[in-house]
Amino acid sequence: MRYLSTRGGMVPLAFDEAVMMGLATDGGLLVPAEIPRIEPQQLRAWSGLRFQDLAFAVAMPFIGAAIPPADLRDLIERSYATFAHPEITPVVKVGGHWILELFHGPTASFKDIALQWLGNLFTYLLERKGGTLNILGATSGDTGSAAIYGVRGKPRIQIFILYPKGRISPLQERQMTTLPDANVHPIAIRGTFDDTQAIVKALFNDLEFKTAHRLGAVNSINWARILAQTVYYFHAWARVTGGDPEQRVSFAVPTGNFGDVFAGYLAQRMGLPIERLIIATNRNDILTRFVQTGVYARGPEVYQTLSPAMDIQVASNFERYLYYLHDGDTARVRTLLETFAQSGRLEVTGDRLRQVQADFAAAAVSDAETLGQIRETYETTGYILCPHTAVGVRAARDFPEAICLATAHPAKFNAAIYQAIGREAPLPAALEGLMDRTPRFIELAADTEAVKRQIAASMQG
């Protein structure tokens, strides 16, 4: 399997090269040259596999000869040995919906499913090829801690995570800032998540700096993350339908950066019988507006909400969808993105808009509705939803067959939980004692040059 840029400006790469590159050298995102098609009989055979074996089956066509099968199996087994539930991503029935629990990893977030594997994958490739890697990422909450836990203490790797100061939960901040590992460098940025993401993209597009400092990506711009997240769509479908290829399901996906829902879109393109992917956003509703109108336009500001991981205006993975929506026309993708960069707006119309609305449904959910959904679910079932999961459940009200992605443990957002139901969610073992630890981080302005200086100084120190 070879990988191409959504903007068409680079030669094809093998999977291992794509993983280490992260963002394409022309500023685009990497995508596979073709999407493998899984036939119904193969889906039926996969349905009885445990998560680890399913992950191997899904990943292997995208990896090809880049990693020997025995090595890939070992990487997968080690990556999911850290999870607290034997099913890794169990599906439970809560009221009228299925809930896909993605929070049983070491940081109680769905990001663990990709980042435990990616951390081991980075280490494996560095040991095989030599050299070092300096991971740079931006987080709106959970990506940072999951990435850090994926590579903490690993040789040959340093990790720099930018997060918006005061715009993530206190527990999320403690997860990133209380580890003793010398290779972990959390940086609090005085700004929004979009500010941190813009800095990261600017540094990756500075090819001289990127090359000199051996930068690698851990955000969902890295294709390996999308691939790992695709697995749990297959796993959940199999658990709910019993592996019957005639049965279709919908998925409600709380999303801000479009990575998780794009993983579902990839699964659908591979042949998974998905009826509808429901994009669930909060007040920061750029994706919902796009699905409903075809206009992808920045809002007036990034609003701070009870679901902070979704407080995003510009969704990184949206570019990958534009590429497929326009049948791989990289010139058209470049034009659209140039228009957006200049005006903060792009638009699709006609058949393309009809295709968008066939691929997705979408709903924006207010903070009041989020609290109401947490309260309603708790009062009727005793189950506690995290705010992000509640956004997904609320958005799926008209889709009774939907599987709703539970993206984080509710205890990570106990201020919102208490506001909704008058009690806190009990802490899982992975989160106990975090708030008693002393944080360690660097605080900087939302300035690309300041971050460059900090990274360079940390490497020299």
How far apart are alpha carbons 220 and 225 in whole angstroms? Answer: 6
Domain assignment present for residue 198? The answer is no
196 vs 300: CA distance, rounded Å = 18
In a domain, 190, yes or no: no
* C-alpha span between 283 and 306 (Å, rounded): 10
With a cut of 70, say whether residue 461 has pLDDT above it: no
Q: What is the mean pLDDT of the chain?
A: 94
Query: Pairing state of beta strands 274-281 and 295-297?
Result: unpaired
What secondary structure does DSSP assign to 4-53, as a single string?
A: EETT--S--EEHHHHHHH-S-TTS--EEESS-----HHHHHHHTTS-HHH
Reduced to 3 states (helix: H, G, I; strand: E, B; else coil), residue 297 is: strand
**Is 120 inside any structural domain?**
no
Question: DSSP per residue over 324-357, as a string?
Answer: HHTTT-HHHHHHHHHHHHHHSEEE--HHHHHHHH
Beta bridge partners of 253: 279
C-alpha–C-alpha distance, residues 163 and 443, integer Å: 10
In a domain, 140, yes or no: no
Residue 150: Cβ-neighbour burial (10 angstroms; 0-12, 13-18, 19+): buried
Alpha carbon distance 277, 252 (integer Å): 6
Q: Is the pLDDT of residue 162 over 90?
A: yes
Beta bridge partners of 277: 251, 360
pLDDT band for position 140 (cuts 50, 70, 90): confident
Distances from the Cα of 116 to the Cαs of 49, 225, 324, 356, in angstroms?
A: 20, 10, 28, 32
Given the DSSP bridges, would you call strands 215-217 and 133-138 parallel, antiparallel or unpaired? parallel
CATH number of domain containing 248:
3.40.50.1100
pLDDT above 90 coverage of the chain, percent: 80
Query: Which three-class secondary structure string do you get for 356-380?
Result: HHHHEEEEECCHHHHHHHHHHHHHH
Q: What is the spatial distance between Cα 316 and Cα 257, in angstroms, rounded to a whole number?
A: 6
Considering the chain, what percentage of its residues have pLDDT values greater than 70? 100
- Has residue 103 been placed in a domain? yes
- Kindly report, residue by residue over 362-400, the tens digit of the pLDDT: 999 999 999 999 999 999 999 999 999 999 999 999 998
Q: What is the mean pLDDT of residues 229-243?
A: 97
**Residue at 362 is within a domain:** yes
Tell me the torsion sign for CA atoms 54, 19, 265, 87: positive
- pTM value surpassing 0.85: yes
Q: Domain containing 415: what range?
A: 91-108+224-429
pLDDT at position 309, please? 84
121 assigned to some structural domain: no
CA angle 55/59/64 to nearest 5° reads: 145
Going by their DSSP bridges, the two strands 345-347 and 442-445 should be labelled as: unpaired
**Rounded Cα distance, 17 and 34, in Å:** 17
Nearest to 278 by CA among 371, 394, 426, 168: 394
E strands, 58-156, where? Answer: 91-94, 97-101, 133-138
pLDDT band at 12 (very low <50, low <70, confident <90, very high): very high
> Where in the sequence numbering do the catalytic residues fall?
111
Predicted local distance difference test score (pLDDT) of residue 5: 97
User: Beta strands of 255-315 (E only): which ranges?
Assistant: 274-281, 295-297
Residue pointed to by tokens 């899982």 = 428
Residue 444: inside a domain: no
Reported as a pLDDT band with limits 50, 70 and 90, residue 460 is low
Distance CA 303, CA 282 (A): 9
- Total domains, the chain: 1
